[in-house]
Amino acid sequence: MTQDTSTYYVWIGGSCDYGHKERAGGAAVVIEHNGNIISRDVISDLHTTEFRMMLTLMVKVMQEIPDGSDILFLTNAAYIQNFDKTPTAKSANRTSSESKDASSLAISAESRGRKARANPDLILQCIEEKKRHNSVGVKIVQYHKSPLLIETHDRATEAMAKTRKEFHQKNNRLSVSSEIVVSVSMPPCAQEGEDGTENSSHLSR
């Protein structure tokens, strides 16, 4: 792909694990400008989707790139092509568009055929941020022929897994702490003596 030296090329990919109860999601970007990689970024969260994470990161990128710029997002996720289309009641019920690339197979069957969330709040933010620039567009590229796109998916997946791991570690620590508190606060069990009276160290003598 021939690049224009003035355009910011933003490779963006996402990942989401629908197989886990907390459903962590992540997104990552690699930004090229004037033939050089100028920055990388990654975000992740719980109870979300890769599409929501990608839109969130698009907003962040447009905020950070200088006003009046030309920005082109490069991705295999057809969903974000509508990042600048004003949400309507109809779009809120539209089934999610999925890339025909092999990477789309990673999307759980759980999500196929279901109604997609339009993420109207993030789309409206994208529309506002786009106004600050000369042009902002999305180009669909082939996943397996785009090393930087593959990198974004890998980084998004790593961030997603890390967020999920930290979530479970925190929950496990809280669970252990709760068990200790309960154990310490419970009085010793009273034992019955041979004469039928209670013998216990915590009873008054």
Residue 97 pLDDT exceeds 50: no
Span 114-156, pLDDT tens digits? 344 479 999 999 999 999 999 999 999 999 999 999 999 999 9
In angstroms, the first-to-last Cα distance of the chain is 88
Confidence check: pLDDT of 6 > 60: yes
The full 3-state SS of 47-61, as one line of letters, equals CCCHHHHHHHHHHHH
Label the pairing between strands 198-199 and 70-75: unpaired
pLDDT, average across residues 53-66? 98
Cα–Cα distance, 100 to 103 (Å, whole number): 8
pLDDT above 90 coverage of the chain, percent: 56
Average pLDDT of the segment spanning 80-105? 61
Packing angle of the helix pair 50-64, 120-130 (nearest 10 deg):
20
> Which pTM does this prediction carry?
0.71
Q: Is the pLDDT of residue 90 over 70?
A: no
Determine the pLDDT at residue 56.
Answer: 97
Among candidate residues 127, 149, 122, the one with its CA nearest the CA of residue 49: 122
Consecutive H or E run containing 72: strand 70-75
What b/e sequence results for 24-48 when a residue is b if at least 16 CB atoms lie within 10 Å of its CB, and e otherwise?
bbbbbbbbbbeeeeeeebbbbbeeb
Q: Are 88 and 82 contacting, i.e. CB atoms less than 8 angstroms apart?
A: no
Judge whether residue 158 has pLDDT over 50.
yes
Check whether 33 has a pLDDT greater than 60.
yes
- Would you state the structure tokens that stand for residue 205, as one six-digit string? 């003598």
Tokens 């019955």: give the residue: 192
Mean residue pLDDT of the chain comes to 79
If 0-12 CB within 10 Å is exposed, 13-18 middle and 19+ buried, where does residue 87 land? middle
